[in-house]
Amino acid sequence: MAVCRRASQGLLRHHLKTALDCWQAYRATPPLLTRATSSLPGTPHLTPAIQGRLDEIAARHAALVRDSLAPSFSRLPPQEMARLARDIAELEPVVEAAARLARRRAELEEVAAMARDPGEEEDLRAAAAAERDELAAALPALESAVLLSLVPPDAADGRGVVLEVRAGTGGDEACLFAADLFGMYAAHAAARGWRWEVLEHARGEAGGVRAASAAVSAPPGAPGVYGRLKHESGVHRVQRVPATEASGRVHTSAASVAVLPQAAAVEVDLREEDLRVDVFRASGAGGQHVNTTNSAVRVTHLPTGLAVAIQDERSQHKNRAKALQVLRARLYDSRRREAEQAHAADRKAQVGSGDRSERIRTYNFQQGRVTDHRVGLTLHGMEAVLVQGDIDPFIDALALDHQMRLLASLGA
């Protein structure tokens, strides 16, 4: 108990001086929306509505700091101390960014006044004018930092994922393309040092995969996988000449990708009475153990009708565990999407649907290009993308686009 209390007090002391300095700087300067411009295209200015939100955050931050200094703080339970420290830490980036902008605006007003003062010497006024221009040029980036600090983080960004790839329209070619996509994500995971565990790998009749899934997680202390891959969900389309096409005609096939944040057992409670577990013999292309034992497992969540079938392992128990892992991720993702839709309806802000039925990317082999239709980005070099898993340019562009949409919603 005493150790927890000292740790919480130490964390609060760490934030305290910065918090007070930021609050004083923030309150000592005029409102930030004066002559505001943004260096990020499509982002809002610091409008009165955003300014009001900044004021509320700064006031809330100051109140929390006062609570941490009150004599009654030492008598709080360790959980309350930790919660208070966490709340201060969450608000601190916003207050710090606003304080930095406020200080720069104050400096700008000071040197601008000096540059205008006819009583100053000419060379001093010239130096002040040069410094004024330099300070003014830095303001858009500082304003952007304030706006970005207001974008709420996705609580699931730090999680691992269950990544699913399923063949769509296109028959055998779609299965081959689905296998290419699954390999692309495996290569990307390997390049980033992520752990890749295959959960399902159902082969197609002519090769490739009908459906495949993997659990992907980052090493301890590294950024989460979901924050990087969440925009990969959707329909991927390929345009190429299949190996079985004698006339050389280009076919168009598709495969769908779903990226689901992993959920812990305590977050999604799967009660036994809500589950129906069926066992059956594995089917499809495989080795000597296929069709010899009832090792395949299908788990159905009766309240929602969601069902997951896994047959990769020889052990029925291992297949059941993997099926429950995938089912838990799908239920968690479904609940997240319901909450996000309700939130979007409440605030009347559309920041992108992420609809998995939407065609998001085209892989054109004849032209050697990959185009993401959401951000209009085209890369040339099919091997680098599909074989080496070099999809960072797409991921970064999509993350920026999503960020811009969120920022635009702040001004609504």
Q: Which residue has the higher pLDDT, 231 or 83?
A: 231
Strands (E), 125-208: 161-167, 195-203
pLDDT at res. 404: 78
- Of 92-96, 283-287, 374-378, where does mean pLDDT reach its minimum? 283-287
Lowest-pLDDT range, 25-29, 150-154, 272-276, 294-298?
A: 25-29
Whether the per-residue pLDDT at 383 is higher than 90: the answer is: yes
Structure tokens at 52: 């009001």
Q: Which two tokens stand for residue 404?
A: 């811009």
The pLDDT, as a whole number, for residue 234 is: 92
Which residue did the predictor score with more confidence, 8 or 46?
46
Task: Specify the range with the lowest mean pLDDT, choosing from 289-298, 352-361, 398-407.
Answer: 352-361
Pick the most confident of 278-292, 303-317, 370-384: 370-384
Judge contact between 363 and 385, C-beta under 8 A. yes
pLDDT higher than 80, residue 409: no
412 pLDDT higher than 80: no
List the single range of 27-36, 227-236, 367-376, 387-396 with lowest mean pLDDT: 27-36
Count of CA atoms in the C-beta half-sphere (13 A) of 244: 9
Nearest of 179, 148, 165, 178 to residue 232 by alpha carbon: 165
What is the pTM (predicted TM-score) of this model?
A: 0.63
397 vs 411, higher pLDDT = 397
Do the beta carbons of residue 241 and residue 365 sit within 8 Å? yes
Average pLDDT of the residues in 110-118: 91
- Closest listed residue to residue 329, CA positions, set 164, 179, 218: 164
pLDDT, averaged across the chain: 80
Q: What is the pLDDT of residue 351?
A: 31
Strongest mean pLDDT among 14-28, 112-126, 269-283, 310-324: 112-126
pLDDT at 15 over 60: no
pLDDT of 158-179, one tens digit each?
A: 889 999 999 998 888 999 999 9
Amino acid letter for position 321: A
Among 71-80, 109-118, 277-286, 309-318, the range scoring the smallest mean pLDDT is: 277-286
Judge whether residue 17 has pLDDT over 50: no
- CA–CA distance from 231 to each of 259, 340, 368 (Å)? 8, 15, 23
